[in-house]
Amino acid sequence: DNGAFMEQSSEYSPILFCLCDTLDYYYEYTECDSTGSRWRVAIPQSPGACTGLPEPVRGTECTFSCKAGEFLEMSAQECTQCAAGSYSLGSGIRFDQWDSMPAGFSSLATSLENAGIKFSLFLCSSSWVPQGNYLESNRDECTVSLIYAVHLKKQGFVSFEYQYLDNNLLFEFFIQNDQCQEMDQFADAKWLKLTNHGEWATHTVNLKSGTNILYWRTGGVLMGTKVVKPVLLKNIQIEGVAYTSECFPCKPGMFSRAPGSSMCEPCPRDTYSGHGASSCTPCNTTTEASAVCKDRPPCSKKDYFQIHTACDHEGKTQVIYKWIEPKICLEGVPGAETFPPSGEREPCPPCNPGFYNNDMATCSPCPPGTFSDGMKPCKQCPAGTEPTLGYEFKWWNILPANMKTSCFNVGWEMAGDHIQSGAGSSDNDYLILNIHIPGFKLPTSVSSRSGTEFGRITFEFETLCTADCELYFMMDVNRKSTTVVESWERTKARQSYMHIMTKNASVSYTWAFQRTNQPSDVRHYVNDVARIYSISVSNAVDGVSSGCRACALSTQPSSSTCVPCPPGHYIDTHTSQCTECPRNTRLVSHTSPGPEACRPCGPGSRSDKDHSLCYSDCHFTHTSGNVTLTFDFSLLGSVGTLMNGPSFTSKGTKYFHQFNISLCGGQEQLAVCTDNVTDLSITDTQTEKGEGANSVKSFICQSTVIPASGRGFHTALSSQSINLANTFLGQYVITRQNTLDGIRARPELYPWTSKKVPDINFYYRSLEATSSCESGRSAVVTLRCDPEKSTKGELAVPSQCPAATCDGCTFHFLWESSGACPTCTEKDYHQIEGVCKGGHQDLLYVWTEPKLCMGGVTLPEKKTLPCEGMELWVRLGAGLGAFTAVLLVSLTCYFWKKNKRLEYKYSRLVMSANKECEMPGADSCAVMEGENEGDMEDEIVYTKPSLLGKLKAIASKVRLAVLLLQFKKNKKNLQIGMQN
């Protein structure tokens, strides 16, 4: 130092010894020891660059701190006031300027992982980007962490403001210690809640003394064709550092005029300031206020808007024009636009339904119990009716009292028959329109019904855009969390949208319009607009009446008092009395009174006792020919779960689709899907009941699940829960009916060779229409008997449609289970007889293979019977057979002997008949002696034939013929006997 150096001989390199200057080092305190003391040490900016660092000295007490507006001057170890143009929080630090990443902050992008082994599926170079007044997160599927480490001398806290609009992007904040162990914190402190469009939320977390490493981490869930809204972060403040060793300069556009300031003030209008300013400098008349003065542009059509004046005492209004505030353009310069002339005075539009035009030329709500269509005075409803409650806005002369915009001058503008988005201060501003409904009140006669609809909101809109504009329709239930119900991108033709409220709660409906998603400080697309023509809300508790509705009257004579109907009852328009819906019908509360309000349940379904919905009781009977099959699906369980996949996005993010299916039962057994990212503040009991702000409770619902491995998160994340089916339509045997209420089952998706037990289809529909499914989503669950599966079975999706849907609107599921087999009957088993052993015989019962039944009757137990009675019959049969054989032999011998005698007689007769001779007495034809002496009584003696003899000969021939016939008959009987 001081120019002194030593040059050595030529064979040695020159060495320069420098003494450290105050700019070459900074001071830090050591950790406090057990006595509560510490040391101040000098730490070089670049180790080894200089020598002669100051020696350590004893530091201030560990409990020492400076006040706001002061900093600790480490050389003297005393608190010193901040100079003008800067500020200090005393024991805290604050980051509110983001032209560049402040010192100490780092942005780290993590690659995806698989089975614990890291590998990069795509280039992950995303980071948090400074945007001047805030930090902006990534918009892709990378997991990006913003990290800041701070050492606290005492307990403190960290506070920051953020915008978190899109649940397609996960956003968590957590803290680690110096051992990289995550600090314990509640789930609702770790996972940030969604914010309203255009609003900033503040998040505060307590910090412990010692080292705290702060993490703000984002990661995309699913990247479709939509652009993800990034997370915005600003105004990070950390308390508990005990002291700050420097003051923070005021950012441009701000100033602090006096020393010892704890904050900076914004410059007045038409003035500007630079970095660390103690005062603001006026701009001239042709420049506008900012961090630096900018030339004011000539006024154009983008700088003014039109409105309708309020109705005057003559009932007239006209179109006038106003400048958008703050006005930054110049009038009267070359190229500047001037106001168009005001419109002619014209009659005011009529009042909205439920309001009337009073003498003050303004629209006032009708008194309770009366109604109006907006063009006529209010009047009482006739007997047997009651006023309806709600809102119907279709004329836009002034903003209704229960509606708000982000700011009238830059928000939404009244345009007579519609309301449209205003210019805004920049193209990426959110233009907010909000209506708050404190609750819903059903008409008197239906107030006790336990239906699922409490009210509905319907609005008609269109968008006209040249850029990437988007219109959001959002809902905040009980002021918990705002969720996007539906959104529309770019130009959309005039159309209507309806949303049904399924719970009685306080709700705020919000419309937000953004011209472009890209950061912008100017207005290029001011002509891109969103228009809303009408808004209708039914059953609003604080609403007005635009008409009357039939009600049920008391049974008291001549009573005109409306009374509530019991659940499941409709109003008979002829008698004005409550009448229960027929069996197995459900009551549709928003339809007109009469029996038409009771809609029949579909095939194979029944209604609950309140007629609020139709469901399957898990029993089904199918008859084909003379065969009847009875099914009991209760063995399948109350809710089935399927997680298909994994699937991967175009950039490699792994995700699963989880489906929960409630096959049978009513309201108590519906399936529940819950977002565990944006709904962590509710209890497990509320989650099971589906009471969370982002919970879905229906027959079939779907969630997107991101596994814990691969994204750096500590638990599997469930998000984007949607309702696939909240109405059960019925069930059919697949061979009998493949279509129900326009929903077609597709048997070809699940080939099946066995036809012994038919498949059974369960049909469902969701009544909530979407931009891609105008009739709502639908689902078909096919039950198939598979005796090799468990009773719970397995759920599957078609191989052709791995996401369970091929068109995005109709979902198909196959549930194979032994619990889907028919109930067993006596026809499903048979009897097997055992051999007789020791005088006993076993009777066994076995199932007919393959067994295609479940439950029902059971197999009878084995039976053992004596078998003596059976041997007696066998012996009796053998004796009878022997007797029959002896009898047949005897008959054979008898007929054989008789046949021989006949044959002998026949031969003798033939000889006698053919001789015809007259022999002498000694030579007669008599039978010789000894020839058949037993037959002497039949002896025939021939003499000389005479006339009488000739006649006798003829008679003998006739007798011979008779004997021949008798012989042939006996011979035939003999042959039969011998065969037997």
- Give the integer Cα–Cα distance in Å for 535 and 418: 10
- Give the integer Cα–Cα distance in Å for 24 and 671: 67
Question: What amino acid occupies position 470?
Answer: E
Tokens of 491: 């130009």
Over residues 204-232, the pLDDT tens digits come to 998 888 888 999 988 776 655 566 788 99
Tokens of 395: 């004329």
Q: Which of 71, 146, 156 is nearest to 110 (CA)?
A: 146
Give residues with Cβ within 8 angstroms of 976, minimum separation 6.
Answer: none
> Is residue 896 classed as helix, strand or coil in its secondary structure?
helix
Q: Strand ranges (DSSP E) for 49-142?
A: 57-58, 70-73, 78-81, 86-87, 92-95, 105-110, 113-114, 117-118, 129-130, 135-136
Element (H, E) at 205: strand 201-207
Residue with tokens 């602090």: 256
* Dihedral sign for Cα atoms in the order 284, 287, 288, 294: negative
Tell me if 563 sits within 8 A of 553, measured CB to CB: yes
- Give the integer Cα–Cα distance in Å for 880 and 859: 41
Query: Consecutive 10-residue runs of the chain (980 residues): their mean pLDDT?
Result: 39 57 83 80 84 87 82 87 90 85 85 41 73 86 87 87 85 83 68 82 89 87 66 91 82 88 87 88 68 77 78 82 79 85 85 83 85 90 87 88 70 85 80 91 72 85 92 86 84 92 88 84 82 94 90 78 85 85 85 84 88 88 86 86 80 82 85 72 47 74 78 67 89 77 87 79 86 86 90 90 88 92 91 82 88 89 75 71 87 83 77 57 44 43 50 58 63 58
Q: Which of 452, 431, 428, 429 is nearest to 442 (CA)?
A: 452
> Is residue 949 classed as helix, strand or coil in its secondary structure?
helix
Domain segments of the chain: what residues? 103-111+126-241, 349-548, 621-677+694-820, 829-866
Q: Give the bridge partners for 233, in sequence order.
A: 135, 162
* Dihedral sign for Cα atoms in the order 918, 923, 924, 928: negative
DSSP string covering 265-287: EEPPTTEE--TT-SS-EE--TTE
Q: What is the pLDDT of residue 234?
A: 92
> Is residue 680 classed as helix, strand or coil in its secondary structure?
coil
Q: Which CATH architecture has domain 621-677+694-820?
A: Distorted Sandwich (2.70)
Give residues with Cβ within 8 angstroms of 77, minimum separation 6.
Answer: 40, 59, 60
Q: What is the pLDDT of residue 958?
A: 56
CA angle 273, 275, 280 (to 5 degrees): 20
> Is residue 815 classed as helix, strand or coil in its secondary structure?
strand
Fold match between 103-111+126-241 and 349-548? yes
The CATH code that applies to domain 349-548 is 2.60.120.200
Counting every residue written for the chain, the total comes to 980
- Give the integer Cα–Cα distance in Å for 437 and 510: 11
CA distances from 496 to 16, 487, 769 (A): 81, 13, 11
Burial of 746 (0-12, 13-18, 19+ CB in 10 A): middle
Question: What amino acid occupies position 487?
Answer: S
pTM: 0.69
Tokens of 627: 């065969």
- Give the integer Cα–Cα distance in Å for 710 and 390: 50
Radius of gyration of the chain (CA): 51
* Burial annotation 437-457 (CB, 10 A radius, 16+ → b, else e): beebbbbbbbeebebbbbbbb
Maximum separation of any 2 CA atoms in the chain, in Å: 199
- Give the integer Cα–Cα distance in Å for 789 and 786: 6
HEC states along 698-738?
ECEEEEEEECCCCCCCCCCEEEEEEEEECEEEEEEECCCCC
The CATH code that applies to domain 103-111+126-241 is 2.60.120.200
CA distances from 26 to 4, 54, 126, 899, 977 (A): 25, 10, 34, 151, 138
Q: Which of 421, 424, 414 is nearest to 394 (CA)?
A: 414
* Burial annotation 207-239 (CB, 10 A radius, 16+ → b, else e): beeeebbbbbbbbbbbbeeeebbbbbbbbbbbb
Omega of the bond prior to 646 within 30 degrees of 0, cis? yes
- Give the integer Cα–Cα distance in Å for 825 and 859: 10
Q: Is 645 left (phi over 0), alpha (psi -120 to 50) or beta?
A: left
